[in-house]
Amino acid sequence: AIPPTTQMALAQRRDGLRMWWCKFDQVVELCEIIGKNVAQVVDEYVALSDDSKQPPIAFEEYVMDQASTYVPGLLRLCPKPFFELMDVSALMEGNKDRRSREAWVRCAPHCHPLAGTAGVARLLFEEIVEEDEEEISYDLFEEYVQALYKVELSV
């Protein structure tokens, strides 16, 4: 059995995550698309992250992963929430138009079918943006996503 103190800590963590992520329209939108509310997705995430066999991923990565796996083609249909959630700190500062290489490499593997691994994501970033750029713009991201699906559809 789980000791009561651990159960309390888990409940506090869960409640904290629920309160925090409900504030983000992007998270709410992606959760709704997969037919769940934020609380349900937080519960699944907490249950998964308690199972320490899984390497921990951030909640926003989990949401992107779930949404893009659950609804094939979702990235093409609504790329904006994926892009914005790649960097929550930037998002909180009001930056919705640019994302760093680091944020891209961390999150692209969770936005299917963008990149299978961080290594692939790093290579893609080099391909997509200008040589000396350290950020990708939303316009460039959207353009790339549309091109990616065109290629996938023509195969």
E runs forming strands in the chain: 98-100, 135-137
How far is residue 121's CA from residue 102's CA, in Å, rounded to a whole number? 10
CA of residue 153 relative to chain centroid, distance: 23
The tokens describing 101, both together, are 């290489």
Question: What pLDDT does 50 receive?
Answer: 72
Query: 99-149 pLDDT, tens per residue?
Result: 999 999 999 999 999 999 999 999 999 999 998 899 999 999 999 999 988
pLDDT band for position 152 (50/70/90)? low
pLDDT band for position 9 (50/70/90)? confident
pTM of the model: 0.91
Query: 61-109 pLDDT, tens per residue?
Result: 999 999 999 999 999 999 999 999 999 999 999 999 999 999 999 999 9
How far is residue 51's CA from residue 42's CA, in Å, rounded to a whole number? 14
